[in-house]
């Protein structure tokens, strides 16, 4: 068991000392502490502090250590140049209230990010304000509501497929809509007939994750969009998986009215652990009046902020969005260019299909009707006869030096292992992963207990995951 920094503390050392508080300070004496140690901070030398945190950091898994195939999360390598650009003093220290004529470059960058996203998707306008994919969803749904309200219509329902991302029903409920579930067909995609049966005047729209969480392209999307529009309902596309479409498909032409991007996934900024992110929302012409403000506009040779708009849904975040993430995404787009982004998509899809082919004998393929997109879903069906479940396989992968994939999601596949290799992995690394998976499948037959008791190499073995989330211990008590 590793020691906490508090347990390593010793009263005879410190890395830093304030001058004696009482002598130097003019505050009344009763407000002053005797010394820092009285507030309970751990006391260690500078070297001990560094060793402590280096040890913690090296215990953690990260993309720089190896493949991180967490499905739907797009844990790809983020080029360091993106961070360097975001750290340029002219970007990093710009103040949100700086006069507009002093921040023309920053405003111009935002307009360029919007233009790139419009070009890649075919949407007519984009707001950069939402700070995450889920907040983009919420913003998009508010836009749909504002659109209907403006026409004087009250609609109460949003259709959501069972293969959608989990945030979709949550965002709809948060926006005050009733969620109506749509089942996907035996091929894992949406059937327009199933949707037609659910449509009536109370349906405000549908939220389609495309490619869906089974890693499959919703090929009936244009037909579905037509049906929705016939009922004066709008089509929202969760575009977090845009690394399967970028440069290949103009999604707007499939009848999409609202689309959110996850810049922190597709456009390569470090994420995980809850942030930072950016979830810009693209819209068709008819929804532009409702976009949040401020919006950056270009007029008379300069950039400025449009501060209000009568039909706008208002602000969804302070200031203008997560600007640092926008700088990183812009750097990534410019570094790759249109051709590079297209190639990234092709590599993401190729890597996932390569894994699908290499693992098809060892593992059950939940849907095998056609090639997958950027991720592939396996299940533990073939391993259950050895009493081995998805969780065991995921834990065993840690012993082989990989981050486990997303497990037990999507819910429509029992014992799902959702694998997204991303485009930044070489064939050699993908092969190393496949060989580990094949080796684990063999272990299930010959020595199942090795897999059932995994991980063997991590500092902590199996943790009680429910307890870990419900019984957080956030303070150290002596
Ligand atoms: C990651 C993801 C989201 C949520 O994005 P956050 O930035 O984590 O809020 C929504 N939909 C899909 C398909 C995703 O992969």
pTM beyond 0.85: the answer is: yes
Contact (CB, 8 A) for 255 and 233: no
Q: Which residues line ligand 1 (CB under 6 A)?
A: 72, 132-134, 165, 167, 209, 238, 240-241, 262, 277, 279
Q: List C-alpha distances in Å: 388 to 369, 376, 397, 412.
A: 26, 20, 13, 20
Q: List Cα–Cα distances, 287 to 117, 130, 137, 235, 259, in angstroms.
A: 16, 16, 15, 12, 12
What are the tokens at 133? 């994919």
Among residues 321, 411, 374, 305, which one has the least CA distance to residue 136? 321
Tell me which residue has its CA closest to atom 4 in ligand 1. 133
Strands 376-379 and 364-365 come out as antiparallel
Pocket test for ligand 1, best of 163, 238, 316, 377 (most atoms within 8 A of CB): 238
Query: Which of 75, 211, 238, 240 has the most ligand 1 atoms within 8 A of CB, as the residue to mutate?
Result: 240
Return all residues near 272 (Cβ < 8 A) that are at least 6 apart. Answer: 73, 75
Nearest CA to ligand 1 atom 2: 240
The per-residue DSSP string of 432-471 comes to HHHHHHHHHHHHHHH-HHHHHT--SSSSS-S--HHHHHHS
**Span from the CA of 348 to the centroid of ligand 1 (angstroms):** 17
Task: Give the residue from 312, 308, 304 showing the smallest Cα distance to 288.
Answer: 312
Would you state the pLDDT for residue 478?
A: 65
From the CA of 265, give the closest atom in ligand 1: 1
Q: How far apart are CA 85 and CA 291, in angstroms?
A: 28
C-alpha of residue 43 to centroid of ligand 1, in Å = 41
- Neighbour count for residue 5 (Cβ, 10 Å): 16
pLDDT of residue 21: 55
Do residues 311 and 295 touch, judged by C-beta distance below 8 A?
no
Give distance in angstroms: CA of 329 to centre of ligand 1. 16
Closest CA to 195 of 219, 223, 173: 223
**Burial code of 374-390, b = ≥16 C-beta within 10 A, e = fewer?**
bbbbbbbebbeebebbb
- The answer to whether 178 and 156 are in contact (CB under 8 A) is yes
Sign of the dihedral through C-alpha 102, 106, 108, 114? negative
Q: Return phi, psi of residue 145, to 5°.
A: -65, -40
The residues of the chain scoring below 50 in pLDDT are: none
> What is the 134 CA–ligand 1 centroid distance (Å)?
6
Closest C-alpha to ligand 1, atom 12: 240
Sign of the four-CA dihedral 116, 247, 426, 273? positive
For the chain, domains (ranges, CATH) are: 1-60 (no CATH), 80-334 (3.40.640.10), 343-469 (3.90.1150.10)
pLDDT at 34: 63
Maximum CA pair distance of the chain? 81
């Amino acid at each position: 068991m590793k020691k906490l920094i508090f347990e390593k503390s010793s009263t005879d050392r410190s890395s830093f000392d304030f001058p004696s508080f009482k002598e130097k300070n003019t505050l009344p004496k009763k407000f002053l502490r005797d010394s820092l140690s009285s507030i309970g901070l751990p006391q260690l030398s500078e070297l001990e502090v560094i060793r402590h945190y280096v040890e913690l950091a090296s215990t953690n898994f990260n993309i720089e250590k190896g493949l991180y195939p967490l499905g739907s999360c797009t844990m790809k390598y983020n080029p360091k140049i993106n961070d360097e650009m975001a750290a340029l003093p002219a970007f990093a220290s710009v103040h949100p209230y700086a006069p507009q004529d002093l921040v023309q470059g920053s405003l111009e960058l935002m307009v360029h990010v919007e233009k790139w996203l419009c070009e890649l998707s075919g949407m007519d306008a984009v707001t950069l304000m939402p700070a995450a994919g889920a907040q983009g969803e919420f913003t998009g749904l508010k836009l749909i509501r504002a659109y209907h309200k403006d026409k004087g219509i009250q609609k109460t329902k949003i259709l959501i497929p069972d293969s959608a991302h989990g945030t979709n029903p949550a965002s709809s409920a948060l926006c005050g809509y009733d969620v109506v579930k749509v089942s996907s067909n035996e091929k894992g995609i949406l059937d327009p007939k199933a949707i037609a049966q659910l449509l009536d005047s109370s349906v405000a729209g549908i939220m389609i994750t495309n490619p869906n969480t089974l890693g499959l392209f919703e090929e009936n999307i244009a037909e579905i969009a037509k049906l929705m529009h016939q009922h004066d309902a709008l089509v929202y596309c969760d575009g977090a998986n845009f690394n399967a479409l970028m440069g290949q498909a103009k999604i707007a032409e499939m009848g999409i009215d609202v689309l959110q991007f996850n810049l922190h996934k597709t456009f390569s900024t470090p994420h995980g652990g809850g942030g930072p992110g950016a979830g810009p929302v693209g819209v068709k012409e008819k929804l532009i009046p409702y976009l949040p403000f401020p919006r950056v506009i270009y007029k008379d040779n300069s950039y400025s902020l449009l501060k209000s708009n009568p039909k706008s849904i208002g602000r969804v975040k302070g200031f203008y969005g997560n600007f640092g993430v926008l700088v990183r995404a812009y750097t990534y787009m410019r570094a790759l260019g249109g051709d590079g982004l297209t190639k990234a998509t092709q590599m993401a899809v190729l890597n996932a299909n390569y894994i699908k082919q290499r693992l098809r004998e060892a593992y059950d393929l939940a849907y095998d009707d056609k090639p997958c997109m950027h991720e592939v879903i396996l299940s533990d069906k073939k391993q259950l006869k050895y009493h081995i479940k998805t969780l065991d396989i995921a834990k065993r992968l840690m012993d082989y030096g990989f981050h486990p994939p997303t497990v037990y999601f999507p819910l429509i596949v029992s014992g799902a292992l959702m694998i997204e290799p991303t485009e930044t992995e070489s064939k050699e690394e993908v092969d190393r992963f496949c060989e580990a998976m094949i080796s684990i499948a063999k272990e299930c037959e010959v020595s199942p207990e090795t897999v059932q008791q995994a991980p063997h190499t991590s500092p902590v073995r199996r943790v009680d995951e429910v307890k870990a989330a419900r019984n957080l211990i956030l303070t150290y008590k002596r």
